[in-house]
Copies of this chain bind each other. A is one copy, B any other.
Amino acid sequence: MTTADFTPAERDAFYRLIAARRDMRHFRGGKIPAAVLARLLHAAHQAPSVGLMQPWRFIRICDPKLREAIAGLVDAERQATAAALGERRDEFLRLKVEGVRDCAELLVAALAPDDGTRFGRRMMAAEMALCSAACAIQNLWLAARAENLGLGWVSLFDPDALAERLALPAGTKPIAILCLGPVTDLYPEPMLAREGWRQPRPLATVVFRDRWGQAEEAL
């Protein structure tokens, strides 16, 4: 089946999925059936990776004490970020920036220790491993939406502190705390746009022709 064509209806459903995926911070607890969680992780694991190195690792957080410790790390980083934001401090603190305590499932995504893969990595070795792991997370994110679940990528944490808490071996880098689960409503647009934090750019400002800054007329 893998080489079969997709129909226009399937394609359009996929574009609707792309448009409907959101970075969620509001969850309504609940549980995720093991079969659904397995489908999501399997989708992540089918991501592309440079030299087929598959550098992503996922740690499912089941221990409530561990979840609370992770929530504490996020709280600390949220306060540190607020302090670093200067005049937007109070505005930032009014935003809900994570759902660590509220989500049905908590996962940590980490980059595995470098396995020395050279294929496609003679240049930009660290970057390409990281990009591969990000692709896996994006697969998981879209799959969650297809399952009518929300997912939020929280990057408000000290990676060294989180690595220590999870007994990650040297060279392993946590890159995401993933809050996953049922939500009441998905945001109709990115939460940061909706809350007036920042507005997205028009597509035409990110696509050029042949050289930086030259407009692409096909858009």
Contacts and interface: CB of A to CB of B under 8 A. Distances in A.
Given A58-B206, A62-B210, A81-B122, A13 B3 contact: no
A58 to B, nearest CB: 5
Interface size of A as a range: 35 or more
A121 B127 CA distance: 17
Instruction: State the number of copies, please.
Output: 2
Nearest to A153: B48
A5 interface: yes
B41 A16 contact: no
Given A23-B48, A210-B63, A6 B123 contact: no
Nearest to A61: B210
A2 B119 contact: no
Interface string A114-151: 00001111111001101111110111011101111000
A60 interface: yes
A80 interface: yes
Interface string A98-112: 000000000000001
A156 B118 CA distance: 10
